[in-house]
Structure 1
Amino acid sequence: MTLLDISRNLDIAPQPAPAAAKPSLVGLTRARLGEALASVGVAERQIKMRSGQLNHWIHNRGATSFDEMTSVSKDLRILLADAFTLGRPEIVSEQISSDGTRKWLLRMPAQGPRTRPAEIETVYIPEEGRGTLCVSSQVGCTLTCSFCHTGTQVLVRNLTAAEIVAQLIVARDRLGDWLGDASESAAVPRDGGRFVTNIVFMGMGEPLYNLDAVRDAIAVIADGEGLGIGRRKITVSTSGVVPEMRRLGEETGAQLAISLHAVRDDLRNELVPINRKYPIAELLDACRAYPGASNARRITFEYVMLKGVNDSPADARELVRLLSGMPAKINLIPFNPWPGSPHECSDWATIERFSEIVFRAGYASPVRTPRGRDISAACGQLKSETQRMRAKEREALAAAE
């Protein structure tokens, strides 16, 4: 007998659809906060002041309840609590690496009655003197780069600006990283500064395919009266969406990173398929025209080291030639393996030889230390561990049934 048969036999009356959940104000721009205030009847002449107050309490103080907002009138707090929440994304899981890296699997609420909740991953990397949060901009990805596990997953949807910002909110909650917070839950020793000092858009997705939301998220993150992370400490990485690069620089002032990974079009076409649409020469022309690029604000070129593929001395010399005259630094990334990957990481001696050629040509060429490999939080690994966990859960459920 099916559940439908049981329902018919018991003559269960159809249940009304559940009331829509109240929206959260977390992560909203000042303009969107103003719209929220207007919707509960706040006079237009007070919108600017009140939205500034909300921005301060939500994004500077990390308020989780409207009752905490002591500078806001009690009547307004009641109105806001009736209409909105200060809810964060659900933390499905938290993993902590042996090197201190943390990875959160976050579940974003459904965006409508016909959509499902979406899951993304966010990674926090503690380093000497700073802490970097790697945020996602999309659920899944469309770019299918051959060395990146995230690219093997279909694109579900873009994240909203608020959902991007909420990843930083969750990180500060979990790390005890709000101003005046005396929490002992932090992963690294407190030295008087902030745990999250830098933001990189290097998580799931291609940021320039969701540029409006990325722009608005950066505005909230960089707001000096809110989250307060300066634009020079925010880096947006792109695989080469050339038409949107100038707009990124003009509208966000963010630092630019390019996922290059090859110095020849035939090879880059295979590693980074978007190259077929925007080849290397066109990409580098857009880099040279990037607003604000200078020796003080160098463009970062990311280059994953793949054994026998792109790691020869000739590749290193061609990389130097391509970047000649450009304010640039080159991050060499040892390949992080994942199940089913067609690639292997270059030998350490090969990576050092490549780095030395680039360094002698006058470019900084640090080799990025792999972080969080034991929890699949390293570059190119996001969501792989989550997929394996979900598969195991399905197998266990099937066995139980």
Structure 2
Amino acid sequence: MTSSAEPYVAEDFGPVADAFRRNFTDPGDGAAAVTVLHRGRTVVDLWGGTDELNHRPMPADGLMMVASCSKGVTATVLAMLLERGVLDPEERVATWWPEFAAAGKDHVTLGMVASHTAGLPYPPLGTGLQGLDLHRGPAVTAALAGATPLWEPGTAMAYHPVTYGTLLDEIVKRASGQSIAQHVRTLIAEPLGVDLWMGLPPELVPRVVPGLWEQQSPMTPDDDSAPDPNSYAAQRQAFLHENPPMDPDFDDPDEVREHYAAERPAIGAITDARALATMYAALLGPVGGVRLISKETRATVTRPQTDGVETLVESGTAGPDIRFGLGYQLASASMPGFGPTSFGHTGAGARLGIADPEHEVGFGYVTSLMRNIGPDGDPRWKALIDAIRGCL
């Protein structure tokens, strides 16, 4: 699904355009885009604002690195492989990846990894790895295989910001023979005709609109606080001192290309609002004749996995009430969506992709003006979602 290079708003959806326009002044937005599909049909496709780093209006074909919205894309790959019988969420990870059984992890299941309850939210401290090597590659994968969980797997949940993708990529490679990035292209992007990559071809780099934080990123350690040294919060803070920045140095073209080319299934998807909305709509029903999963599989992957376990301090990008199915975030106060059946994933800075079976809506929103997501979600989403709901 490519852009016609003309904004589009279907009849009766004018209030969504009004809300999108207002967002640029209240609460303020950078370069942004929103797409909505209703019952498989595009009813809103809008973009606007300014790419401040490149001094240009938001391009009609602009792309963005969408941070943890990538996890929703990875969850879709898992769902499709589950439906094909390649993966089983109840299966032990060590069945595919024997080395992972080390340090008491022999009983950890794929479902625990996908629902952030596996106890490996970060690579072990002191690996000596730096930069992107902490996010992908054989060294960090081996370190995770040998790592001791920070809690008894399956008994607590803490958001796995990057290891979610590193672990799942190794599982998927061993189970299917292909990486998540390869499956993203062959299972989702190409059948739906959308712009979606995990590992961007270098010739497409000029289309990317960088994200700029209005204030400090939630993935930056807070040196002013002093958590209990034995707490999970202290362990998390220690890792953030080793963790590479989420974004490259935009003054270094080589570093930008390296970051965009890296296959990071948790945070590295480069895409647009159209692709997010289209993918989520195709989880509900056919879009252009393509349906990604059955209703039965959707019920399996959106069944709550974390409601009955303790929630530890998490990264701050999604709110303390974060809930998960098999990789998808489920509706909560900080990601309310359209109602209790909504599922999808937020991304740092306030990017969002969701599906709502009750309202038959696929929604995608991307922005270059990155703000921490508050306990009630982002006001830019809320204005758009409230307007959409009013049009249905």
TM (normalized to structure 2)? 0.25
User: Given the two structures, how large is their TM-score scaled by the length of structure 1?
Assistant: 0.24
The structure with the larger Rg is 1
